[in-house]
Amino acid sequence: MAMKTFLDALREAQIEEMARDPTVFVMGQDTTSNIFGGATGMVEAFGLERVRDTPIAEAGMTGVGIGAAMVGMRPILNFGMSTFMFPAMDQIFSMAAKSRYLYGGQARVPMVLRGGMIYGAGNAAQHSDRPYSVFMNMPGLKIIVPSSAYDAKGLMKTAIRDDDPVLCFEDSALWTSRSDIPDEEYLIPFGVAEVKREGTDCTVVAIGAMVPVALKAAEQAAAQGRSLEVVDPRTLAPLDIGRILESVEKTGRLVVVDAAHERCSAASEIAASVASDGFWSLRAPIARVTTPMTHVPFSAALEEGLYPNVDKILAAVEGTFA
């Protein structure tokens, strides 16, 4: 067991899988230059054949990755920022997501698409999105949003071995966070949520970097006599609604915390599913703590107040007791 950062855990997962399986390779913009620190040691270990830089051409890079995956390779595409997936939307939606279905299972697309969500850092509108909910609407894609270094490693290893395209959204607010990582190998299955903190009064479902924020809110709520149960979905496609429903059945209340925009968000899907399948467990309306439907401003003073925080979560929880 050793304490490691979120980025180190992701790097370890890729290196271990590349050593285990010669069909795994990494490609992306600024990969060999290791711009965000997630590729340390890869070139030295595997050479430029398996650690490849690409031009600033996201659609082209994705098309190459899809082609490689369909002929037996397992590419890991590093987009740097998740917003850089937007120029590759046609390839992701029309080819990566649909090829296995269109070819009746004769083709598969085992690939991982990594994208960092760098918001709250004055990167303005084009570089600050949290776009996982956009991709939730497309069948054929799997989506992971780890909230800790431990989860990042286990989910990434599962993603690399999966036979479908997996999108990994990495919240930059977590990059330097640390977890104990076991020395022995472990994988985390998709579609299995985790209760990060047990509670009895209100369920708080939090996504990505909102999990540690929700845990802080739970600590403060405990001091005020409120017992919050914090649930981390870990994967958004597949989504473990069953575990969330079990928690809501116990607590009778639900607050969903999601740093993405509210409309058509992961928070909206979770709220709708609980309202549909767990209505009789609810003692109060469901609350969502999200980001308003506005583009992210360059001004740090304006951006600061947009995202969910401890105070907003606590206010939403109290609202369910009103």
Render pLDDT for 159-188 as a digit per residue (tens, 0 to 9). 999 999 999 999 999 999 999 999 999 999
254-261 and 202-206 strand pairing:
parallel
Over residues 236-268, the pLDDT tens digits come to: 999 999 999 999 999 999 999 999 999 999 999
Domain count, the chain: 2
Q: Please indicate, yes or no, whether residues 40 and 66 belong to a single structural domain of this protein.
A: yes
Give the global pTM: 0.95
- Is 295 known to be catalytic? no
Peptide bond into 308 cis (omega under 30): no
Task: Supply the pLDDT for residue 44.
Answer: 87
228-232 and 194-197 strand pairing:
antiparallel
Q: Please indicate, yes or no, whether residues 207 and 309 belong to a single structural domain of this protein.
A: yes
Average pLDDT score over the chain: 94
Task: Supply the pLDDT for residue 276.
Answer: 97
Does a structural domain hold residue 104?
A: yes
Q: Please indicate, yes or no, whether residues 222 and 315 belong to a single structural domain of this protein.
A: yes
Q: Please indicate, yes or no, whether residues 143 and 166 belong to a single structural domain of this protein.
A: yes
Task: Supply the pLDDT for residue 37.
Answer: 65
Task: Supply the pLDDT for residue 277.
Answer: 97
Which position among 11, 50, 114, 127 bears the catalytic label? 127
Extract the residue ranges of the chain whose pLDDT is less than 50.
none
Task: Supply the pLDDT for residue 215.
Answer: 98
Domain that holds residue 274: 194-319
* Residues contacting 253, CB < 8 A, separation 6+: 201, 202, 203, 282, 283, 284, 317, 320, 321
Q: Please indicate, yes or no, whether residues 62 and 148 belong to a single structural domain of this protein.
A: yes
Task: Supply the pLDDT for residue 104.
Answer: 94
Using the 3D structure, point to which of 124, 158, 181 is the last residue of a domain: 181
Task: Supply the pLDDT for residue 33.
Answer: 67
Taking a C-beta distance cutoff of 8 angstroms, is the pair 143, 237 a contact?
A: yes
Buried b (16+ CB within 10 A) or exposed e, 282-296: beeebbbbbbeeeeb
Q: Please indicate, yes or no, whether residues 113 and 236 belong to a single structural domain of this protein.
A: no
Task: Supply the pLDDT for residue 32.
Answer: 74
What are the residues facing 115 on neighbouring strands?
169
